[in-house]
Structure 1
Amino acid sequence: MPRRRSYDQHCAAARALDAVGDRWTLLIVRELLAGPRRYTDLHADLPGVSTDMLAGRLKDMEAADLVTRRRLPPPASAYVYELTDRGGALLPVLRALAEWGAPALGEPRPTDAVRAHWFAIPLLRALEERGPGITHVTLDEGEFHVRIGSDGTAAYGDGPAEAADAFLRTDTATCRALASGELTLAEAVTTGRAELEETLRVP
């Protein structure tokens, strides 16, 4: 059974922190917002977390109805973790945290790990300038894609998109400037800090 952790306060914020306030929980959500992941993939993209800690957090998150575990059909026959609707509803929370934390990001420290898709959430606001569509983003560290729906919903995934209508190439320094609001996407393109190639819009 998962450990019982509670602030024992009749407060909505306290109840939320009961579920997601533990170390690593929101970063696991960040990874799963990009789509279902195997345990080994989660562990690889969460440098610093122990296997016991990750397994324990995932069990707690299953008990809190944030994630679910399912088996892929053959020939894969592997188990993946994915967010429930309740877990997916944490995207605005992570967006707010990313916007709040962006001004303090600065240059990567020597001990910092970097993954390209970690810039997806901070870039959502800048990519919303384009309106609905799918943008394939390429950094030196890798690539990911962002989908902005016609209803304003946003989602992202690791790796290339199956059908992108725009291709953005930039660097992490420009991503930080876009995330903090120092630059708009249009300004980044105009000044040569980003290259944006647009094709036909996805309906």
Structure 2
Amino acid sequence: MPRRSYDQYCAIARALDTVGDRWTLLIVRELLAGPRRYTDLHADLPGVSTDMLASRLRDMERDELVTRRRLAPPGVAYVYDLTPQGRELLPVLSALAGWGGPALGERRPTDAVRAHWFAIPLMRRLRPLAAEHTGAVEVRLPEGIFHLLLGEGRIAYRDGALEYADARLALDAATCRELADGELTTEDAVLAGRLGVTGDTPLADAVRGTQVGVATMS
């Protein structure tokens, strides 16, 4: 099927020709954590139909945002992974998270939630630490666990727990949202008992005591 276009000689319109369809950027959000199987993507994109997800993934392969590959033996499943071009959308999602964060408010009864959906907003908050520290931060919410990798001014996230982490954070979704939006400092969250930080490392100490501000990803 030919790709639909706005037919406008505008960089924004060209970008939306590729990523403006419903679900595309949320698929990118999921794949920024690393390769995912189709079934895993479907499980963490509540509300998307199987036909829609398959169609979007085909479109994203065509547009060279994702690749599909088979796992090495003994694995038999296929996984989807972002291309370098797809990973360049991280600053776009970071900006959207910053813009949309204040609209979250209280969680609605119909709202689905996954722990790793807070990763990109939290990355904005903790990115200043990546300029001075290298290490891994495990983040544990009641809904699940993800971890952040810091170093050389960069920060990335992955799903799941770590055997070793320089710092381990325990908090709930509301606290994570307030930290990401700048309503709450990490220091105040620790003092209020809303954020638990464990680890005897400079990175853990920085999370406990540094009032880092929101930064724009680049």
Normalized against structure 2, the TM-score is what?
A: 0.88
Structure-2 change in CA distance of 1:174 and 1:5 (3 Å) = same
The answer on whether the counterparts of 1:72 and 1:78 sit within 8 Å (CA) in structure 2 is yes
Q: How far does residue 201 in structure 1 lie from its aligned partner after superposition?
A: 6.1
Q: What is the number of equivalent residue pairs in this alignment?
A: 200
Q: Tell me, what secondary structure is at the counterpart of 2:36?
A: coil
The answer on whether the counterparts of 1:129 and 1:185 sit within 8 Å (CA) in structure 2 is no
Residue of structure 2 in register with 1:115 after alignment: 114
Q: Deviations over 1:22-56 (max 9, x none)?
A: 00000000000000000000000000000000000
Residue of structure 1 in register with 2:197 after alignment: 196
| Structure 1, unaligned runs of 5 or more | none
Structure-2 change in CA distance of 1:153 and 1:130 (3 Å) = closer
Distance in 1 (alpha carbons) for counterparts of 2:121 and 2:32: 13
Runs of 4 or more, structure 1, over 4 Å off, are: none
Letter in 2 for 1:199: D
Distance in 2 (alpha carbons) for counterparts of 1:161 and 1:121: 18
Residue of structure 2 in register with 1:57 after alignment: 56
Residue of structure 1 in register with 2:29 after alignment: 30
The answer on whether the counterparts of 2:66 and 2:81 sit within 8 Å (CA) in structure 1 is yes
Q: Tell me, what secondary structure is at the counterpart of 1:147?
A: strand
Distance in 2 (alpha carbons) for counterparts of 1:130 and 1:162: 22
Q: Determine what percentage of the aligned residue pairs are the same residue.
A: 68
Letter in 2 for 1:144: F
Q: Deviations over 1:139-182 (max 9, x none)?
A: 111110011222x2121011113432100001111011011111
Residue of structure 1 in register with 2:184 after alignment: 183
Normalized against structure 1, the TM-score is what?
A: 0.94
Q: How far does residue 187 in structure 1 lie from its aligned partner after superposition?
A: 2.1
Residues 107-116 or 38-47, more deviating = 107-116
Q: CA RMSD in A?
A: 1.4
Residue of structure 2 in register with 1:19 after alignment: 18
Structure-2 change in CA distance of 1:108 and 1:14 (3 Å) = same
Residue of structure 1 in register with 2:141 after alignment: 139
Q: How far does residue 127 in structure 1 lie from its aligned partner after superposition?
A: 2.3
